C-alpha cells in the first residue's frame, strides 16, 4: 500500500511540475509579445518594462 501511495504522489508531483512549466512558457511568450510592442517606444520605457517583468 505504501508504495502505491508514493507512486500516486509522484504522479501528482510530476503533473504539477509540468503544469508550472506550461505556465512558465505562457508567461515567457506574453513577455516576448510585450517587449515587441514596447520596441517602438523610447528605450527608457523598454528598460523599465523588462525590469518589471524580471523582478
Structural domain count, the chain: 1
pLDDT in tens, 3-51: 666 688 888 999 999 999 999 999 999 999 998 888 876 666 556 666 6
Task: Give the number of C-alpha atoms closer than 13 A to the C-alpha of residue 41, restricted to the C-beta side.
Answer: 12
d(CA 18, CA 48): 31
* Prediction pTM value: 0.42
d(CA 17, CA 11): 10
Nearest CA among 41, 11, 21, 25 for reference residue 50: 41
Range(s) of the domain holding residue 24: 2-54
Kindly give, in sequence order, each residue whose CB lies less than 8 Å from that of residue 34, ignoring residues fewer than 6 positions away. 49, 53
Amino acid at each position: 500500500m505504501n508504495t502505491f501511495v508514493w507512486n500516486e504522489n509522484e504522479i501528482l508531483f510530476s503533473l504539477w511540475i509540468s503544469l508550472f512549466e506550461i505556465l512558465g512558457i505562457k508567461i515567457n511568450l506574453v513577455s516576448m509579445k510585450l517587449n515587441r510592442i514596447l520596441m517602438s517606444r523610447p528605450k527608457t520605457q523598454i528598460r523599465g518594462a523588462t525590469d518589471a517583468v524580471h523582478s
